[in-house]
Chains A and B, each alone.
Chain A
Amino acid sequence: MTSSSLIRTGAITELVGELSSGRTSLMLACLREITGRGATAALVDADGAFDPVSAVRAGVVLSRLLWVRCGGRRAVALAAIDLLARCPGFALVVLDAGETPPRVTLGAAFRLRQAARRAGVAVLLVGRRRVAGAGATLAVRIRRDALAWAGARRAPTRLAGMSTRVRIVRRQGGSCEWSAPAETPGERQWWTA
C-alpha cells in the first residue's frame, strides 16, 4: 500500500490504527507525496501533535503545508476540515484526529465528501477509529508488526525502526481512475527511526 494509493481527489480516505501503529508516519508519507510534487496541502491537527522535524525528515515541504492547530477541540477541527475541503487548490486536506476522533454523522460525512468532490480536494481522516462510515471511499487499518533496535542486545543504543502492516477494511469501487492495488491482507512496510 503506497501513500499515493491513499490519496484520491474528491474522495475521503480513512487511515486508522492504534497509537504507535505507524499511522502518523503513513500520513507524513502522504503529505510528502503531495508537497513534494509541488502541490499544497493542509493539516488540521486536533491535538497539536504534528512534529515539524519528523515531517522534514520524511520529506514534507513545510512551506506548502498549512498547519491548523485546534488545541484539542474536536468540533473546531471538524469545522476547519469542512472549510478547507471547500477551498479549491488544496490537493490534500488531512484531519489528524488523534486518539479520540470526533463523532461524525453519516450526513455530515457525505456532505464533506460532496464538498471535496466539488472542490477537487482529497480528504484524509487519520485517527484511532473510523468516523466517516460509508462516506469514506477507502479505509485502511495499520498495525505495528515489530520493532527493531540497534546496538548491543542487552543495552540497545537507538531505535532502528518499525515495521507495520496495512490492511484495507473498506473500498468503494466503480471508478476507472482508481489506482489502489487489490486488497492484500497485511502488506508490510518498514519505517526508519
Chain B
Amino acid sequence: MVDRVTSIACVWVEAFAAAAAERAEPSLREQPMAVVVGAAPTARIVDANAAAREHGVRAGIAEAEAVARCPHLVRRPASTACVDAAHRALLDACYGVSPRLEDVAPGLVHVDVAGLGRLVGDATAAAERLHRAARSIGLPARVGVAGTRAAARIAARAGLGVVASGGEAEALASVSVKAVEWPDQIAEALSRWGVATLGELAALPRAGLAARLGPAGLAAHDLARGVDDPTPWRSWTLPPFWEEAQELDWDIHELGPLMRVLGRVVERLMARLCAAYLVADALELRLALAGGGHHARTLALACPMDAARPVLTLLEHELGARPPQGAVTAVAVQASAIPRRAVGARLGHTAPPAERDLATVLAHLVTLVGPDAVGAVALADSHRPDAFVAARLDPEAVSATSDVPLDPVLALRRLRPPRRVRVVVDGDQRPSMVSGALAPDARVLGCAGPWRVSGEWWDAGAWGRDEWDVALSDGAVCRLARDLTSGEWYLDGVYD
C-alpha cells in the first residue's frame, strides 16, 4: 500500500522521444536534433534535444518553423519501436536498483527506495545509483527523492535532488509553477492570478480553489504541497522476455550493414540485462522484410551470456548460414533472461570459466566448427542407441554421482553414422568373419551376444536390432549390430 512507502525516487527523462532517438543513434547527441511526426508541409515537432531547445525548437511547432529557428536541425521520424525500447530499458535499469517500481509514463518511473540503506546507502546514494543506471543504458535522467510521489516528481523536474521526508511543502515552496505541467485551465488561472511559485499556490485557501476550479483546483493544491493523489501504487513486474528493436530508415540488402545495425541493438539489449543483473539464456532474432514477411531465427546459447560481441558473432554466423530472403526494414532481438549467478570456486578447486571468457571462447568455437557441434549434452529419454540431446553447459550443476565410487568402465568409441559391414556367420548364426570394418577382412576371435534391443514399436519409427561384442583378428574389439528390419550388419563402435 502507498502508506507503507516512505521514500520514493522519481526518475525522469526530459524530452523522452528525443532521448530515445539519441539512444538508438548516439552521434545525434552532438548536434541539434528533433523528432518529427507527419509529412511536410504539416509535419510537427514531437520532441527536441537540449541543443535544439537552446535554439527555440519546442514540441508542437511546425517543422518548417523549427528549421527556420535552427537551420542545422537534424530531424528524425518518430519511432514507436525506439520509444518502447527506451521505455523498457529505463524500467530495467531502475529494476537493478530496487524491485518495486511504478511505470507512470514513458520516461517517468517511480522507484521505492525505502529499505535500501544497507544495500545501497542513503537517499542520495540511491539517487546517484539510479542516475548511473539510466546513464548506463544511454538515457540522461534526472532523479528526485521525497516522501511522496508528487514531491519526488517535482523534485526531479526542478532539480531539487533529495527532499527530506515530511518537509516536502517547505522544499517545494520556492519552485516555479512552470516546473509542473498543469492542465490548460489551471495554467491560465495561475497566470491570471499572478501565482509564480508552488509556495504561493499552496498558500491559497483550499475552499476558494475548490469553489473556483473544482476537483482540478484541489489536485493542484495537493500537488503544490507535495501531497499524493489517492491512486494506489501500480507495481511493475519483470517481463519474461526482453526485447530491443529498431526500425530502419532504408532497406538493408547485405549482411555487413545489417550486422552494424544489429550490433547497436544487441549492445543496448545486453546493457539492459547487465543493469538488471540478468544474463541471456536464449535469443530470438526477428527481421521484418520489405515484402511484408518476417525472417525469424532462434539461438539457444551454449551458456548464459551478457556480452554483446560473442552474441553478435553467433548472429553473424546464423545469418550467414541462413540469410533473410529479402531486404530488411526493421530488426528486433528478444532475449530470454535468467538471473545472473555468482560463481565461485570451492576451497582447493578450480573456479569455473568466467561468463565473459566462456562466451567469447564459445563464439570462436562456433565459427570454427558450427553452432551444432559445440555445447554440453544430456542423455535422451530413449533406449535408441546413441540417443542424446543438446544441453546447456552448467558448471554449477549438482552432481548426484560425484561421490559415488564407480568401477572403471570400458568406453565405446562411436562411429557416426554406423558403418555398414559384411558379416559371415557360422552354423550357430554367430559372426565368424567381418569385412569392411577397420581392416578389409578380419576373423572373429571371440564374440558375445546377441543382445536384442528394440523400441518405439508402438509408433511409425519402430526399430530393433541384435547387438554383438566381437574381438577381431586386427586387434579391435567392436560392437556389431544387425538391424532386425533390414537384416543389414553395422559397426556401431569400437571398445577402447
Q: Which residues of A contact B (CB under 8 A)?
A: 9, 18-25, 27-29, 32, 35-40, 47-59, 61-71, 73, 76, 79-80, 83-84, 87-91, 98, 120, 144, 147, 149-151, 155-159, 161-162, 189-193
B401, A155: Cβ atoms closer than 8 Å: no
Nearest chain-A residue to B393 (Cβ)? Answer: A66
Q: Give the CA-CA distance A38 to B396 in the complex, in Å.
A: 7
- Minimum CB–CB distance for A168 against chain B, Å: 19
- A156 to chain B: which residues have CB within 8 Å? 446-448
Given known pairs A63-B392, A67-B377, A159-B477, the reply for A193 and B353 (CB within 8 Å) is no
Contacts of B374 in A (CB 8 A): 66-69
B379 touches A56 (CB 8 A): yes
CB distance from B216 to the nearest CB of A (A): 62
Bits for B401-441, please: 1 = Cβ < 8 Å to A, else 0.
11110111111111110000000000010100000001000
**Contact present for B407 and A192 (CB under 8 Å):** yes
Q: Does B231 contact A (CB under 8 A)?
A: no
Q: Do the beta carbons of A149 and B446 come within 8 Å of each other?
A: yes
Establish whether residues B393 and A64, one from each chain, have CB atoms under 8 Å apart when the complex forms.
Answer: yes
Chain A residues with CB under 8 A of B249 = none
Q: Is the CB of B369 within 8 A of A32?
A: no
Set of chain B residues within 8 Å of A54, measured between Cβ atoms: 409-412
Additional A-B contact list (19), CB under 8 Å, known A76-B369, A144-B475, A156-B448 = A19-B413, A19-B496, A20-B476, A22-B496, A25-B496, A28-B411, A38-B346, A39-B350, A39-B395, A49-B415, A50-B413, A64-B394, A64-B395, A65-B376, A69-B374, A79-B368, A89-B395, A189-B408, A191-B410
Q: A61 to B397, Cβ gap below 8 A?
A: yes
How near does chain A come to B361, taking the closest CB pair, in angstroms? 5
The chain A residue sitting closest to B447, CB to CB, is A156
Determine the chain B residues whose CB is within 8 A of the CB of A71 once the complex forms.
369, 373
Chain A CB within 10 A, most for which of B409, B414, B475: B409
Cα distance, A32 to B350, chains bound together (Å): 15
The 5 closest A-B pairs by CB, nearest first: A89-B353, A24-B496, A159-B469, A63-B397, A191-B410
| Residue picked from A20, A80, A120, A156, most chain B C-beta under 10 Å | A20
Q: Evaluate contact between B408 and A192: CB separation under 8 angstroms.
A: yes
Contacts of A57 in B (CB 8 A): 409
For this complex, 7 residue pairs linking A to B, each with C-beta atoms less than 8 Å apart, are A20-B475, A20-B495, A59-B402, A59-B404, A65-B393, A68-B369, A191-B408
Among B353, B406, B413, B430, which residue has its beta carbon within 8 angstroms of that of A49?
Answer: B413
B388 located at the interface, meaning its Cβ lies under 8 Å from any Cβ of chain A in the complex: yes
A9 CB contacts on chain B under 8 angstroms = 350
Determine whether the beta carbon of B393 is less than 8 Å from that of A63: yes
Of A25, A88, A155, A157, which one neighbours B409 at CB under 8 angstroms?
A: A25
Q: How far is the CA of A79 from the CA of B375 in the complex (A)?
A: 17
Q: How far is the CA of A188 from the CA of B365 in the complex (A)?
A: 38
Residue of B369, B413, B448, B471 with highest tally of chain A CB at under 10 A: B413
Contact B409 A62 (CB under 8 A): no
List, in ascending order, chain A residues with CB within 8 A of B446's CB.
147, 149, 156
Q: Which of B228-268 contact A (CB under 8 A)?
A: none
Closest Cβ of chain A to B442, distance in Å, is 12
| Known contacts A49-B413, A69-B369, A156-B446; A162 and B350 CB within 8 A of each other | no
Known pairs A59-B401, A87-B357; A23 contacts B408 (CB<8 A): no
Q: Is the CB of B408 within 8 A of A76?
A: no
Is B449 an interface position by the 8 A CB rule?
Answer: yes
Once the chains are docked, how many angstroms separate the CA of A67 from the CA of B393? 9
Given contacts A25-B409, A59-B404, contact A66 B375 (CB under 8 A): yes
Inside 8 A of B413's CB, which chain A residues have their CB? 19, 24, 47, 49-51, 98
B409-A192 in contact (CB<8A): yes
B430 touching A68 by the CB < 8 A rule?
Answer: no
> Which of A19, A21, A147, A155 contacts B438 (CB under 8 A)?
A19
Whether the pair A25, B410 counts as a contact (CB closer than 8 A) is: yes
Q: How far is the CA of A155 from the CA of B428 in the complex (A)?
A: 9
Contact status B409-A35, CB under 8 Å: no
Q: Are A155 and B430 in contact (CB under 8 A)?
A: yes
- Chain B minimum-CB-distance residue to A36: B402
A32 — which chain B residues lie within 8 A by C-beta?
406
A66 partner, pick from B376, B388, B494, beta carbons under 8 A: B376
The distance in angstroms between the C-alpha atoms of A181 and B493, with both chains bound, is: 33
How far is B496's CA from A98's CA once the two chains are assembled, in angstroms? Answer: 11
B357 touches A88 (CB 8 A): yes
Give the contacting residue for B386; candidates A51, A67, A69, A193; CB below 8 A: A51
Interface set, chain B 369-383, CB cutoff 8 A to A: 369, 373-379
CB of B192 closer than 8 Å to a CB of A: no
User: A159, B368: Cβ atoms under 8 Å?
Assistant: no
Nearest CB to that of B364 among chain A residues?
Answer: A83
Q: Does B173 contact A (CB under 8 A)?
A: no
Chain B hits for A51, CB < 8 A: 386, 411-414, 493
Pair A22/B373 contact, Cβ less than 8 Å: no
Selected from B349, B386, B393, B406, the residue in CB contact (under 8 A) with A53 is B386
**Across the interface, do B373 and A69 meet the contact criterion of CB distance under 8 Å?**
yes
Check A158–B369 contact: CB distance below 8 A: no
**Residues of chain A with a CB closer than 8 A to B361's CB:** 83-84, 87
**Distance, CA A21 to CA B496, complexed state (A):** 6
Smallest CB-CB separation from B388: which chain A residue? A52
Closest B residue to A96 by CB, please name it. Answer: B413
Say which residue of B386, B404, B448, B476 sits within 8 Å of A150 (CB atoms): B448
B353 contact from A40, A158, A192, Cβ within 8 A: A40
Q: Which residues of B contact A47 (CB under 8 A)?
A: 413
Q: Which of A20, A52, A83 contacts B477 (CB 8 A)?
A: A20
Q: Does B354 contact A (CB under 8 A)?
A: yes
Name the residue of chain B whose CB is nearest to the CB of A28: B411
How distant is the Cα of A61 from the Cα of B438 in the complex, in angstroms? Answer: 31
CB-defined contacts of B475 to chain A, threshold 8 Å: 18-20, 144
